[in-house]
Amino acid sequence: MWGFEISRAGYISKGCVVPQMTDQGYWYISIPTGSHGRTARIWINRKAVIQTREGDKVTYQINDWLTYRRTEKGNIVLMPSDSKNETIVYLKAECGYRGSSSIEIENGERIFSGAYYHSPRGSLGVSDCGLFLVRDGTKFKIKRTGRLYGAPSVIVLKVVFSPNNVIELIKTDEEADEELKSLL
């Protein structure tokens, strides 16, 4: 499962989301949801977890192509998908100092909303994060407030599926063009 983080300076970092296991043997990921370090568990079907061995070292990772289901109680379960047209990604947009951030999605779906508090009660900033169902061409519009120290307050990203099954987020300048047009 791909995880992306937009830093305070506006840089995009990409990585893998690592699953955790309960004492009973169920897989999950933790997503921050509020103040004082609160997290929510997003459950993962065991068929979506891949085990790799390198000598004596065993590592676990989540399949890159996922879909999801909601249970009757509202829990989210990530499931492996046969389709290469859409998948689920984790995205976190870091806010400015003492600010906030918000993520809007176009041509996709927000599955789960989270909030990362930079201090116990959020007085140093609250960053938006969550799980998103994306397709090739999905766009994210990220709005940030607070002290950004010259970084852009609005970032538009486009999801691109490459031929070798790698997902990339690419910055676009469409927002800057729209702002320029409104001023003229």
For 54, other C-beta atoms within 10 Å of its C-beta total 7
Average pLDDT, the chain: 88
User: Contacts by 1-4 with C-beta closer than 8 Å and gap 24+?
Assistant: 1/29, 1/61, 1/62, 1/63, 1/64, 1/66, 1/78, 1/88, 1/89, 1/90, 2/64, 2/87, 2/89, 2/90, 2/167, 3/89, 3/90, 3/91, 3/92, 4/89, 4/90, 4/91, 4/92, 4/169
| Distant-in-sequence, close-in-space partners of 175: CB < 8 Å, separation ≥ 6 | 141, 154, 155, 156
DSSP assignment, residue 83?
-
Query: Could you tell me the end-to-end alpha-carbon distance of the chain, in angstroms, rounded to an integer?
Result: 43
Residue 148 structure tokens: 């950004």
Domain ranges of the chain: 2-183
**Reported pTM:** 0.87
pLDDT tens-digit map of 103-126? 999 999 999 999 999 998 888 999
pLDDT tens digits, one per residue of 149-184:
888 889 999 998 888 778 888 888 655 555 555 655
